[in-house]
Amino acid sequence: MLPRSAVPPVRVMTYPGLFVGGSAFHPVDDVSFIEMKDMLKLQALFAAGQFLAARCKEHGLVGLSDANPFIKKDGGTFACLYSEMSLVGATLGAVQCEIVMGACMRPAQCAYADFVADMAGYAPWLRFPDGAPSFCALIKEAQAKLQEVMDLQVGYQAAKENFEQQQKRQRV
């Protein structure tokens, strides 16, 4: 039998649209603005939020974080994923604060240890050797990647519209 921490507490939801065409992340057919390695990292960080929220709830750390019920309705936007990653960082910070000086030190330690085990099972390649500081650095990198991809899409859209306008002018 697996140790309790090796059994994830939730069935992980994939971020809507992250891996499929026709979404905010892939609005142009046959054009990819984001590499698979980056999509996998974004998904792992999104899953981290699900694991951490479930572990906090399981260990009685109420009020720190719950799963966002609006993700499926949102359809998967850049803004929502960016916010989700910020929430994971904030929740992790709250757990770390409880570990250091909170009244719920032991439950917070258990929740964090189980979260680390969940992540090791879900995305063993995602390393955060210094704990929360390393994990928060990963979040900042991923948020920067989201901004980069959005900027690429905006630039592409502007160039496409400019090209189409030039084509119309030449026809006239």
What's the predicted TM-score (pTM) here? 0.87
* Predicted pLDDT of residue 65: 66
CA dist., res. 103 & res. 46, Å (int): 28
Contact between 42 and 142 under an 8 Å Cβ cutoff? The reply is yes
Per-residue pLDDT 10s for the chain (172 aa) are 445 555 667 788 899 889 988 888 888 888 788 899 999 999 999 999 999 999 999 999 876 666 677 776 666 788 889 999 999 999 999 999 999 988 889 999 999 999 999 999 999 999 999 999 999 999 999 999 999 999 998 898 899 899 989 988 888 7
